[in-house]
Structure 1
C-alpha cells in the first residue's frame, strides 16, 4: 500500500514539474478578440501578473486595486490570460508633452511625429477620461491609471496597459495620425488587422526608436510625473507647452464642444477659465520651486514662440532632449507654417495669423473677462494685458513679450528667477 502511495506522489510531482516547464517556455501572447463584452475584461485572472514593478508596489493601495484589474487579454474560448511582454532595452530618450486642450499641441506634436526615429503617441490617455465620465473606473484612480499607462507606453510595454482591449478601441482611432504605420493604415484609416498584429508591430517600432514622445492633455499636472523618476526610474524629460489663455478659450468656444477633462475632474472650480489659469499657476509654482527630480528635465515652451520661430524652437527642443535634429523637419515646417485651413484640428497654420486670430474674433468683454480671471497666469508667462484700444491695434500692440524680455530663461530648462506669491 505504501509503495502505491509513493508511486502516486512521484507521478504527481513529475506532472507538476513538467507543467511548470511548459508555462515558463510558452511566452507567446494569446490571440486577442477585439470585440468582447466589457465585463469580461474585469474578471480576475487565475494567473496574476507578478513582475518586478507589481511586486515592489504591492503594498500601495492603488497598486493593490490595479493588480486585480490588470491588462487581461481574451482568448478565443472566452478564457482570460495574462500577458507580460518582456522589454530588454528601455528607450534611451523619453519626453512627455504636458499641455492643455487647444494649446497648439497637435501642431507641436508634429515636430516629433515627422521624425522617423521617434515613436510618437498621440493622446494615449483619452480612454480613461471616457471611463471616468461613465463611472467605469473610480474617480480617484484616474491619475494612477494614467501614470501606469504612460509608463508602459514610454517603455514600449503596451501589452501591460490597464484595460488593454478597451484602451485599444480608442487608441486605434488615433493610430494613423502617426507617420510610422504605413503597414497598418490605408487612406488614413486602420486596415482590418487584429489587435495582436497591430500591437506586435507597434512594439517593434517603438523598441527601435531613438525617442519616445507622448503628447497628452489628460494628465497636465507636472508634479504627478515625479513617479516616473522616483518610482519607475525612467529617464524622462518634460516639455510644458503653454498658450495665451485668451487664444485657448477663444478656440474652445469656437468648437462648441465641452472640455471633457474639465468635466471629469468635477472640481470645486466651476469656471473653465479659472480652472485653466489656476492650472497654469499651479504648474509654474511647482516648477519654480526647482524640485530635485525635475532639474535638467524640464523646458517651458510657449506656442506663440513656436509659431513665430518654428525652426529655432524646434532645434532648441531637440538639443534639450539630446536627440539629433532631422533635417527633413525643416521642409515640413516650411510647408506647414505658411498655409491656413478652416479645419480647427489641422496642423497646417499660417503662423503670424494664428497668433493674433483671437484678437480678430473676440469682443473686448470676453477678452476682459479672461484677463480679469487670469492676471497672474498671463503676466507670469509673458502675456500682456490689453485695453480695448490695444486689442484692435494688432500692428502696434504686442499681445506677448518676446523671449529675451521674459523674467525667466524660457527655452533652457528650469526657471532662473520667478516670483509667484498667489
Structure 2
C-alpha cells in the first residue's frame, strides 16, 4: 500500500479502547416535556428505545426485540408490521464546523442502508435564538435534550416539537430510507404524527444512529450521554484547514448563523477558538472519551475516501457497507458549481482555497489560528510556499496525535 495511505485519518486520539461497562439505570417512564409553544403531545404507537436499552453491553448476541411498527406506503397510508428493534445501537456524533466538508462526510452514513442518519437536527434552535423566541443561553441545554431524545428514538419528546418538525422536515428527502415521506424530492404533505412515527420506526430498525451537527459548541457536553445515560456513543471530530473553511464561507457571502447567535466579533477567531477549546479538552485525556474519539481531517477523507471510510467504520465497530464503495466511486470525481453538493472532485477541492485567496488573506487567518492549526496538524506557510506548493501533504503534517502528544503540544505552548 502506498506510504501516504498509512497516514489516512491519522488523528485517532486514543490507542486503547475502554472496556465495556454496564451501569445501572433507573427504569423511569418517559415524560413529556412542557412546551412554551403549542406543541403536539401525542405519543407514538411505535416503541422507542429507552435509556435502559441504550446501555452498553459486551454481549455479542442479538439484542433486538420484536415490536409492532407503523409503515407508510406510497399512497400515504399507515400500516402496522412486526419488526426487530435493535436495543443496543452504535451511535456516532459528528462534531464539526460550517464549511468543513461535513455534508460530503455525512453521506458515508446516509448511504448506509442499515444506518439512521440525521442532518443538522439542531438547526431550529439557532433560528429561534436569533429571533429571540428562546434565550440564547438555553441553546446548549435544548440541544443536548434533543440529541438525547433522538438517540433513544423518542422523537415525540423533543422540545418545541412542532417548530422542530417544521425545520427538520425540509431535510428528510436527503435520506433514502425516508423516501415514503417525499414526492418529487420534496416533503409530502403528511401529518406530524405520520412523519414522526416513520422516524421512530427507522431509528428503531437501525444498527447505527449517526448525527451530524455544526451547532454543538463543545465535545465536553457529550459526556453525560456516556456517564449518565450509558449510551454506546463515539465522537467523530471532523476538521478542515481553517484557510479552506474561511475561504468557503467568504465565497458564499452567507452568514454563519451560529456565529451570529454567539455574538462573537471575529468569525475567524471564533472558528479557531472553538477548535482549540475542543482539542484542549481532548488532550486532557478524560476517561469517558478514551476509545470513543477520533479526529478526522477532511483533506484525508477527500484524498483517500475508500480507506478513510473503512477505518471510520472499524473505529465505530460497525460492519462496512459494501454499497458505499460504489457511491464513493460515483461521487468523488465530479466537478460541480454547487457548493452544497455532496458530489465533488475530492482531490481538486483540497487546494481550491490556494487558487482563490491572496497571501494577505492567508496571512491574516494564520495569525489568528496558529494554535488551532498547530494542534490539528496544518503547517503555516510563507509566501513562497503558498505560491509553489503543489501537494497538500506538504502543508499537512502526516503524523499521529494521540492523547499524550496533544497534551504535550498544549503544555509546550502554554509554557
TM-score normalised to structure 2 length:
0.80
Question: Is 2:99 aligned against 1:102?
Answer: yes
Secondary structure in 2 aligned to 1:142? helix
* 1:53–1:219 distance in 2 versus 1, CA, 3 Å: farther
Secondary structure in 2 aligned to 1:237? strand
Q: CA deviation at 1:395?
A: 1.9
Aligned residues of 1:98 and 1:217 also touching (Cα < 8 A): yes
Match of 2:139 in 1: 142
Match of 1:239 in 2: 236
Question: Is 2:390 aligned against 1:408?
Answer: no
Match of 1:368 in 2: 363
Ranges in structure 2 where 5+ consecutive residues have no aligned partner: 1-26, 55-87
| Structure 1 Cα separation of the partners of residues 193 and 262 of structure 2 | 33
Secondary structure in 2 aligned to 1:343? coil
Aligned residues of 1:71 and 1:82 also touching (Cα < 8 A): no
Match of 2:318 in 1: 323
Q: CA deviation at 1:113?
A: 0.2
Aligned residues of 2:95 and 2:237 also touching (Cα < 8 A): yes
Aligned residues of 1:246 and 1:370 also touching (Cα < 8 A): yes
Match of 1:294 in 2: 289
Match of 1:117 in 2: 114
Aligned counterpart in structure 2 of residue 87 of structure 1, from 22, 45, 48: 48
Q: CA deviation at 1:246?
A: 0.1
Aligned residues of 1:384 and 1:398 also touching (Cα < 8 A): no
Single out whichever of 360-369 and 84-93 deviates more from structure 2: 84-93
Aligned residues of 1:99 and 1:220 also touching (Cα < 8 A): no
| Structure 1 Cα separation of the partners of residues 269 and 379 of structure 2 | 18
* 1:54–1:72 distance in 2 versus 1, CA, 3 Å: farther
Q: CA deviation at 1:228?
A: 1.1
Q: How does 1:253-268 map to 2 (within 5 A)?
A: 253-266=250-263
Ranges in structure 1 where 5+ consecutive residues have no aligned partner: 1-50, 56-65, 75-80
Secondary structure in 2 aligned to 1:215? strand
Q: CA deviation at 1:400?
A: 3.0
Aligned residues of 2:272 and 2:369 also touching (Cα < 8 A): yes
Q: CA deviation at 1:71?
A: 8.8
* 1:399–1:366 distance in 2 versus 1, CA, 3 Å: farther
Superposition RMSD in Å: 2.0
| Structure exhibiting the larger radius of gyration computed from Cα positions | 1
* 1:301–1:172 distance in 2 versus 1, CA, 3 Å: same
Q: CA deviation at 1:270?
A: 1.0
* 1:293–1:70 distance in 2 versus 1, CA, 3 Å: farther
Question: Is 2:169 aligned against 1:181?
Answer: no
Match of 1:348 in 2: 343
Match of 1:52 in 2: 28
Aligned counterpart in structure 2 of residue 248 of structure 1, from 232, 237, 245: 245
| Structure 1 Cα separation of the partners of residues 364 and 242 of structure 2 | 11
Aligned counterpart in structure 2 of residue 69 of structure 1, from 21, 24, 35: 35
Q: CA deviation at 1:229?
A: 1.4
Aligned residues of 1:391 and 1:397 also touching (Cα < 8 A): no
Q: CA deviation at 1:186?
A: 2.1
| Structure 1 Cα separation of the partners of residues 373 and 95 of structure 2 | 18
Question: Is 2:174 aligned against 1:198?
Answer: no
Post-superposition CA distance 1:111-156 (Å, at most 9, x none): 0000000000000000000001111111211100000001111111
